[in-house]
């Protein structure tokens, strides 16, 4: 479990992750805010393949989330904004070849 180790700066920002409201400070990355709130699974590469932030510096591309409707955003490279709507990223195509998934 990630936890703050020092008094955190003011956290006036509120973002939404799925159905959860999360507080953050104005220079938090989305990844940091979600990790601090105890969220570890940011996306599912396949149904059995959960991923979360790995490198925290924008090179592993594992922290991808959907932000305000836009897919494949690197959570560790995006600064929070008040009212931001973040959702887990799911694989757009079903794993079974030939099967079509709904958008």
Partner 1 sequence: MTIKQYQVAVIGAGPAGLRAAITAAKAGLTTLLIDDQPAIGGQVYRNLAQNKDAAAAYLGSGYFAGTKLLATFSQFDGVYWPQTTVWQITNDHQIAITRSGRAALVDADHIVIATGAIERSMPVSGWTLPGVMTVGGAQTLLKQTAVGAEHAVFVGNGPLLYLTAAQYIRAGLPVRAVLDTTGPKAWRAAAAHAALALFQPAMLAKGLSWLSTIRRHTRYVTGVTAVQISGDDAATALSYETAGGQSETIDTAHVFLHHGVIPNINLTMATGLDHVWDRVNHCWRPVVDQTGQSSNPAIYIAGDGGGIAGAAMAALSGAIAADAIIRRVKPAAAKPLATRLGQRFLLWQRGAARPFLDRLYHPDAAFRLPLSDDTIVCRCESVTKADIAAALGDAVAGPNQLKAFCRAGMGRCQGRSCGLIVQEMIANDRQQTMADTGYYRVRPPVKPVTLAELASLDGPWPG
Partner 2 sequence: MARISKPTTARPVVIIGAGIQGCATAFFLSRRGLPVIVLEKDHVARHASGVNAGGVRRLGRDIVEVPLSLAAMDWWTQIDDLLDIKNGFHRHSYVKLALDDKGLTIATDRLAAMQAAGFTHEVWIDRDELQARIPDVVKTAHGGILVDGDGWAIPWHITRAFHDRAVALGADFRMPVAVHGLRRIADHWQVDTDSGMIEADYLVNCAGAWGARIAAMAGDDLPLEAHAPMLVVTDRQPHFLDAVIGIMGATLSFKQLDNGAMVIGGGVRGRAKPATNGTILPPAGLAEFTATALRVFPHLADIAVLRAWGGIEGYTPDHLPIIGRGSQPGIIHGFGFSAHGFQLGPAVGEALADLVMARQPRVNLDAFAPQRFTPAPSKDLF
**Binding residues for partner 1, per CB under 8 A?**
1-8, 27-29, 32, 35-36, 40-42, 45-46, 49-62, 72, 77, 79
Q: Are 26 and 17 in contact (CB under 8 A)?
A: no
CB of 10 to partner 2, least distance (A): 31
Say which entry of partner 2, partner 1, none residue 19 contacts (CB below 5 to 8 A, set by partner kind): none
Of residues 13 and 67, the one with the C-beta less far from partner 2: 67
Q: Interface residues for partner 2 in 84-103 (CB under 8 A)? A: 91-93, 97-98, 100-103
Rounded Cα distance, 89 and 39, in Å: 13
Helix (H) or strand (E) holding 83: none
CB of 26 to partner 1, least distance (A): 11
The tokens for 51 are: 């991923």
Q: Are strands 64-67 and 70-74 parallel, antiparallel or unpaired?
A: antiparallel
Q: Is 69 helix (H, G, I), strand (E, B) or coil?
A: coil
Q: Are 1 and 52 in contact (CB under 8 A)?
A: no
What does the binding site for partner 2 look like in residue numbers (CB under 8 A)? 70-72, 91-93, 97-98, 100-103
């Amino acid at each position: 479990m990630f936890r703050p180790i020092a008094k955190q700066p003011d956290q006036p920002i509120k973002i939404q992750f799925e159905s959860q409201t999360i507080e953050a400070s104005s220079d938090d990355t989305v990844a940091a805010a979600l990790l601090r709130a105890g969220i570890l699974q940011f996306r599912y590469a396949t149904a059995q393949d959960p991923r979360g932030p790995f490198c925290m510096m924008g090179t592993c591309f594992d922290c991808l989330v959907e932000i305000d409707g836009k897919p494949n955003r690197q959570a560790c490279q995006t600064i929070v904004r008040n009212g931001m709507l973040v959702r887990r990223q799911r694989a757009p195509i079903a794993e079974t070849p030939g099967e079509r998934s709904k958008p």
